[in-house]
Amino acid sequence: MSEHWWVSVALVTALCLAYGGWKLSHRRRYRFLQTAREQFHQQREWLEANFLTLAMKTAPRGLEWGDYEFDDAVRFARDPDKNELCAFVGVTIKFEAIEGGGMEDVEAVSQFKAATGVFHYRDGKWMTLGRTVLNLNPYETIVHYQLDHVD
């Protein structure tokens, strides 16, 4: 049995290396997330303005964006299909009917609607396509699309 001591040493060495690799990977992931969060908060005003510019072009048929208000809270999640970090911000929207758009007589048009604005972290930069998920708050959006929470 004493002639196989090297097996024990090799096993302990392999375990130590695996743990060290895991720890290093975890630390890198944490730093990546911290950097992304800081960038989002630094650029938030610009990101929201860009989001509005794009989102207002895609209002539901017969409607246009009226009043809106962004929530303070931000939720972060990773899209496992794209391996992409995303940020989700709640936004309350009030649409207005466009004259002749067929929505003028619908009472619900003037009611505030809960929605979520979607932002993406690509190549070290935050951006948005103006995607709005209507009727879901950020948490519900993450659950609905089966994304990985990173908060």
Q: Which residues pair with 88 in a beta bridge?
A: 75, 118
Phi then psi dihedrals of residue 48, to 5 deg: -65, -40
Q: Per-residue pLDDT tens for 89-126? A: 999 998 888 887 777 777 777 788 899 999 999 999 99
H or E stretch including 25? helix 5-55
Q: What is the biggest distance separating any 2 CA atoms in the chain, rounded to whole angstroms?
A: 90
**Residue scoring higher pLDDT (130 or 27):** 130
Residue-range domain boundaries for the chain: 36-149
Pseudo-torsion of CA 19, 24, 26, 31, nearest 10°? Answer: 170
Q: What is the CA radius of gyration of the chain?
A: 23
Q: Per-residue pLDDT tens for 32-89? A: 799 999 999 999 999 999 999 999 888 777 888 888 899 999 999 999 998 899 999 9
User: For the whole model, what pTM was predicted?
Assistant: 0.78
**Residue scoring higher pLDDT (28 or 83):** 83
**Ranges 16-30, 86-100, 131-145: which has the least confidence:** 16-30
Q: What pLDDT score was predicted for residue 132?
A: 94
- Count of CA atoms in the C-beta half-sphere (13 A) of 100: 0
